[in-house]
Structure 1
Amino acid sequence: MKRRSGTIRLFIGLAIVAFAVFKFCSSETTNEYTGQKQYVDLTVEEEISMGLSAAPSMMQQHGGLLQNQAAQDQLDRIGYQLVQSSVAKNSNYKWDFHLLADDQTINAFALPGGQCFITAALYAQLEDEDQLAGVMGHEIGHVIARHSAERIQQQGLANGVITGVSVAAEGGGEAAQAIAQMLTMKYGREDELQSDELGVKMMIDAGYDPYEMIGVMEILAAAGGPNRVPEFQSTHPDPENRIQKIKEAIEKYQ
């Protein structure tokens, strides 16, 4: 009876994994802005709605918006210039650029649909408008490459694998988690490198100095300190490794 129960459990687990893989593969599409194949089943309208819904919460987590109109105007000007000079202009995303009041966390990020953010802590570290353009170009790159939507789809696959393996094999939860974590880290690093390249292209097209993107990486490296997480344990590539890829992108587009 125990053996039969194990066989049934294995069958159900494999069926769950197979369904998750089928659902993931069925979402294959070609990104019209990057030309690359990816797995996404969200519409642009759904991405915009998700981003707009999440934006107030993100602002609250970072102390709201910085009350500095001149700095906000500068951010808007650079952000919209990057959009208007690039393939992002042809998208239907709703672009908004937010300068957060958080003066402790050095960070920038983008939500699906065009909501882009930079903290006051990172803004204060930047040396010129070209570096700000580098940061915003990178975040715009995340949006047009649909990285958030793609990660949602990947998470669905990972959850299916975790559930299926856990059902199929008693005590298999740790192995399933490890598989899912490796999948997430791999795609996370690739997303960052692709956004760096897209950001370089936008900077060049908008008339900014793309080499200033390297300065941004140096700021991030310094912020991470000597004890930053090794790349193989992180969803982000090491800033020093990203610099070489940025140089290659500059040579490619100039």
Structure 2
Amino acid sequence: MKLGGRALKLVLGVAIVAFGVIRYCGSQEENPYTGRTQAISLSTEEEIAIGLQNAPIMAEQHGGLYPDQRLQDQVDAVGKKLVDNTIAQETPYTYEFHLLSDPNTVNAFALPGGQIFITYALYKRLNSEDQLAGILGHEIGHVVGRHSAERIAQSELANTVATGAQVGADAGMLASQLGQTILLKNGRGDELESDDLGVKFMLEAGYDPEALIEVMQILKEAGGGQRIPEFQSSHPDPDNRIEKIRAAITKYRN
């Protein structure tokens, strides 16, 4: 029986979606450092290369590196202490810590492969080395958790689903929105896992994990109380994160 044009498009769309799902499921592997099974579309070598290629770009977008070497040395020392005393030292990544000049953007982030950044706008709000360790430990958690590589695999799946839906049922917008919802949910999971790992790393390196709760308060104050609803944000609400951090502290101290 000959398929009509609409039916043929539907079959093609279903085939595209099926291909994306099969490819995604076939990329599942266990992270040897967290024990969590996740879909990964990059090798560790590719993660490192992406991080190194994009580090100068990210620095430029935030006004370059902060010119005070004394402060940079402090960031390096805290980062090194965290890496040397935790499972991070067993990973294939080379961790490099960068203090950015940006005086306005309160942020810290990690690129795949070990490139970690904190803006001066956030650094200047900190009151202790433990708070700095909380931020850097959290970002190391993103690298150890391979969150960027996992998100890339999820993005590829979401894009494939959107393409298949558009071809098969002219529903690309709906599929794209569904894909973004999935990515936001997983993004929140990344933050919570990194908070958990950050607590673990802080304790192992001799830092007070309660300082990570203080960091959440700093971030909350920096937001001016005008937070968007959690379901619209890739980051969990700071109050919800504090609750999870307290649970992690109890877990790892026992």
Q: TM-score, normalised by structure 1?
A: 0.97
Post-superposition Cα deviations, 1:104-150, rounded to whole Å, max 9, x if no partner, equal 00000000000000000000001100000000000000000000000
Q: What code does the residue aligned with 2:149 have?
A: A
Aligned to 1:183: 182
Deviation of the 1:41 alpha carbon:
2.8
**Where does residue 168 of structure 1 map in the other structure?**
168
Matched-pair identity in %: 55
Please say if 1:142 is aligned against 2:146: no
The residue aligned with 1:245 is 244
Q: Is the Cα contact below 8 Å between 2:96 and 2:114 reproduced in 1?
A: yes
SS at match of 2:80: helix
- 1:78-125: per-residue Cα shift (whole Å, max 9, x none)? 001000110001111011000000000000000000000000000000
Conserved? CA contact 2:41–2:152, under 8 Å: no
Figure out how many residues of one structure are paired with residues of the other and give that number.
251
Q: The residue matched to 2:227 in structure 1 has which SS?
A: coil
Offset of residue 234 of structure 1? 0.6
Provide the residue aligned with 2:155 in structure 1.
155
2:52 alignment counterpart: 52
CA distance in 1, matches of 2:205, 2:114: 18
Greater mean alpha carbon deviation, residues 243-252 or residues 178-187: 178-187
Matches within 5 A, 1:105-254: 105-170=105-170, 172-254=171-253
The answer to which of 225-234 and 20-29 deviates more is 225-234
| SS of equivalent to 1:181 | helix
Any idea what SS the aligned residue of 2:4 has?
helix
User: The residue matched to 2:29 in structure 1 has which SS?
Assistant: strand
Distance 1:178 1:121 in 2: 33
Aligned to 1:79: 79
Q: How far apart in 1 are the matches of 2:147 and 2:65?
A: 25
Where do 5+ consecutive residues of structure 2 fail to align?
Answer: none
| 1:167-201 Cα deviation digits (max 9, x unpaired) | 1112x122111111111011000000000000000
Give the whole-Å Cα distance in 2 for the aligned partners of 1:178 and 1:112: 26
- What amino acid is aligned across from residue 18 of structure 2 in structure 1? A
Give, in whole Å, the separation in 2 of the partners of 1:163 and 1:174. 10
Separation in 2 of the partners of 1:249 and 1:160?
36
- Residue 39 of structure 2: aligned partner: 39
Gaps of 5+ in 1: none
Distance 1:177 1:159 in 2: 7
Q: Which amino acid aligns with 1:117?
A: F
Counterpart CA distance in 2 for 1:75 and 1:47 is: 23
Q: Equivalents in 1 of 2:113, 2:157: separation in Å?
A: 22
User: In 1, distance between residues paired with 2:12 and 2:40?
Assistant: 26
- 8 Å CA contact 2:95–2:116 kept in 1: the answer is yes
Paired amino acid for 2:58: M
SS at match of 1:125: coil
Alignment check: 8 A CA contact 2:162 2:175 kept: yes
Larger displacement relative to structure 2 (110-119 or 220-229): 220-229
Query: What is the distance in 1 between the residues matched to 2:240 and 2:93?
Result: 31
Corresponding letter in the other structure for 1:250: I
Tell me the secondary structure at the aligned position of residue 229 of structure 1. coil
Q: Which moved more, 1:133-142 or 1:226-235?
A: 226-235
Report which stretch shifted further, 223-232 or 92-101: 223-232
**How far apart are 1:59 and its partner, in Å?**
0.3
